[in-house]
């Protein structure tokens, strides 16, 4: 019996150790690194992002243990100060990856900036396999392309995005799907369009997924959510939709990355930004996250979308999702509208649309944003951009189950005018210096430090005229406080709390 308990204990400890997530600093160079995307190539993850300092799209390959398999690779580059190359996406084929991004290519006669999609293919070692090309190539009637959705089917890569056209009286738009053939003819072929070129206003970026047999493409004209199924074929497959998912889909908002669709068996999770008609608070931007579970024919299994977390003080955006074959996990950015901080929120959903878990999964800096997620053999990789080091850098978390943080409590109880205290560093382990921006008071000034539940844990006294005071992370009893978020509030009118993060 004793041996049995020992074995159970060892197995329990082993399961606990294996369930722990792995945090990775993926790119921490100078300048801002933004808008990461991630895919699984069959053996490892590829992460790509936008490097604002070098005007480039960069990336790196990482295995499920968090080990880097390549150095950082510079995939695409733009001319500094004149061109932009932004919002990259990555997908994996049988023996290569493909990357797309939006690229500014000039101006037209109406002085509008022209945006195209730049496309490239690379080996799993990051070596460029072909000369990159633009879609459309120098087509000056197309003034704008949306952030693309890039997928691999059975044998080819396909790109889904929106194209806007300039006319003397209007700017029509349509969603389009391009098939890429670089095996023989090295050609770019239009296989589907939501309406005739220049004949509609389908300006919301389309979203698509591959279910191992066909593509499901969803798009909206702002009035209804429509869809079509496409084959992995470079033959043109028609114009317009085959079915309508919802007649009134105005709640699905457009954005850089405003929705995602992921298959699981014979069903799909469709999740995106929604306009919340029940919210009228001045603090709310009225954008939430909602999801539908669609059956094999893309019919919603419920009458209306499920709206997640209806907090008026938070704007939810930039959702992404992945599946492990049993459930879906989706993560998105939650921005607190009163102080412009943001963190990554996540949910786990089953095929009946039940939310199994929900809560914050990343709360590491004042601003965590732009999440992207993919599933490998056994693990998820969640990547995001955050400013814990001053600049925005790319970080990642490898896990097999969502590890939720405590609820995020922001400084709603404090007034919202000019800040008076600056913490340097804002994230600290030993000490932080609290600098007073203008302490011309003729008496002592009390600085009160609260934890995220609003409890007072420390009071510091700045003598009259003193400009700074050091806090060592202890409470009023001299005990070291736990890691977490704390707020420094001076006893002074017309100030707001300063948010600091203490690490062990």
> Hey, is 128 helix, strand or coil?
strand
Say how far apart CA 10 and CA 84 lie, in whole Å. Answer: 54
Residue 299 has a pLDDT of 95
Contacts of 410 (CB under 8 A, 6+ apart): 313, 336, 338, 339, 341, 499
> What is the C-alpha to C-alpha distance for residues 470 and 134, in angstroms, rounded to an integer?
55
H or E element at residue 18: helix 2-19
Predicted pLDDT at 249: 60
Assigned CATH topology for domain 24-399:
Neuraminidase (2.120.10)
**Token pair of 147, please?**
């952030």
Q: What is the pLDDT of residue 3?
A: 37
Q: Where are the beta strands (DSSP E) in 231-327?
A: 243-246, 259-264, 267-275, 287-294, 306-308, 314-323
The pLDDT, as a whole number, for residue 295 is 97
Give the separation between CA 54 and CA 5, rounded to whole angstroms.
Answer: 57
What is the CATH number that goes with domain 421-502?
2.60.40.4070
d(CA 7, CA 13): 10
Q: Where are the domains of the chain?
A: 24-399, 421-502
**What pTM, to 2 d.p., does this model score?**
0.77
3-state secondary structure of 2: helix
C-alpha span between 57 and 17 (Å, rounded) = 35
Give the list of residues 6+ apart from residue 63 with CB closer than 8 angstroms, or none: 43, 44, 45, 69
- Topology alike, domains 24-399 and 421-502: no
Which pLDDT belongs to residue 5? 34
φ and ψ at residue 195, rounded to 5 degrees:
-155, 170
Q: What parts of the chain have a pLDDT lower than 70?
A: 1-19, 81-82, 110, 137-140, 168-169, 184-186, 202-203, 222, 248-255, 276-286, 310, 389, 406-419, 437-443, 453-454, 492-496, 504
> Encoding tokens for residue 241?
């939709």
The count of other CB atoms within 10 Å of the CB of residue 93 is: 17
pLDDT tens figures, 372-400:
999 999 999 999 999 876 789 999 999 99
Which candidate, 219, 220, 88, places its Cα nearest to that of 148?
88
Q: Which two tokens stand for residue 76?
A: 């695409």
| Residue 346 · residue 359 · CB < 8 Å | yes
**What are the CA-CA distances from residue 481 to residues 90, 218, 435, 457, 469 (Å)?**
42, 50, 21, 9, 18
Q: What integer pLDDT is reported at residue 78 of this predicted model? A: 86
Q: For 455, what's the count of Cα atoms within 13 Å in the CB-facing half-sphere? A: 5
């Amino acid at each position: 019996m004793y041996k049995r308990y020992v074995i159970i204990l060892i197995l329990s400890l082993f399961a606990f150790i294996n369930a722990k997530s792995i945090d990775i600093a993926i790119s921490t160079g100078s300048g801002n690194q933004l808008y990461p995307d991630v895919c699984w190539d069959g053996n490892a993850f590829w992460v790509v992002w936008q490097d604002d300092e070098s005007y480039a799209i960069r990336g790196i390959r990482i295995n499920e243990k968090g080990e880097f398999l390549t150095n950082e690779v510079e995939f695409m580059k733009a001319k500094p100060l004149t061109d932009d190359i932004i919002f990259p996406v990555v997908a994996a084929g049988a023996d290569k990856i493909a990357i797309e991004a939006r690229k500014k290519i000039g101006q037209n006669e109406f002085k509008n900036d022209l945006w195209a999609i730049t496309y490239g293919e690379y080996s799993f070692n990051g070596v460029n396999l072909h000369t990159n090309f633009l879609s459309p190539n120098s087509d000056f009637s197309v003034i704008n392309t949306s952030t693309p959705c890039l997928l691999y089917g059975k044998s080819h890569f396909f790109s889904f995005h929106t194209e806007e056209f300039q006319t003397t009286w209007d700017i029509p738009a349509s969603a389009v799907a391009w098939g890429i053939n670089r095996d023989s003819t090295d050609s770019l072929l239009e296989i589907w369009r939501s309406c005739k070129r220049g004949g509609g206003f389908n300006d919301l970026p389309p979203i698509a997924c591959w279910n191992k047999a066909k593509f499901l493409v969803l798009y909206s004209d702002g009035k209804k959510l429509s869809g079509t199924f496409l084959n992995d074929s470079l033959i043109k497959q028609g114009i317009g939709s085959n079915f309508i998912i919802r007649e009134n889909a105005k709640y699905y908002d457009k954005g850089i990355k405003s929705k995602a669709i992921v298959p699981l068996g014979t069903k799909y999770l469709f999740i995106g930004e929604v306009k919340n008609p029940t919210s009228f608070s001045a603090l709310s931007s009225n954008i939430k996250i909602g999801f539908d579970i669609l059956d094999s024919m893309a019919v919603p299994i419920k009458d209306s979308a499920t709206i997640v977390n209806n907090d008026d003080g938070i704007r939810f955006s930039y959702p992404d999702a992945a599946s492990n074959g049993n459930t879906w996990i989706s993560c998105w950015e939650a921005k607190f509208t009163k102080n412009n901080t943001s963190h990554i929120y996540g949910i786990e959903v089953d095929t009946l649309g039940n939310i199994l878990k929900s809560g914050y999964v990343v709360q590491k800096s004042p601003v965590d944003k732009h999440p992207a997620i993919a599933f490998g053999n056994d693990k998820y990789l969640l990547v995001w951009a955050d400013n814990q080091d001053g600049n925005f850098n790319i970080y990642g978390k490898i896990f097999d189950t969502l590890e939720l943080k405590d609820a995020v409590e922001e400084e709603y109880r404090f007034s919202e005018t000019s800040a008076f205290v600056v913490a340097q560093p804002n994230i600290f382990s030993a000490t932080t210096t609290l600098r007073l921006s203008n302490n011309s008071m003729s008496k002592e000034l009390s600085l009160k430090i609260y934890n995220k539940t609003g409890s007072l844990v420390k009071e510091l006294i700045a003598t009259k005229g003193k400009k700074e005071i050091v806090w060592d992370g202890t409470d009023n009893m001299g005990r070291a406080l736990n890691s977490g978020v704390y707020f420094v509030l001076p006893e002074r009118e017309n100030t707001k709390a300063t948010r600091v993060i203490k690490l062990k």
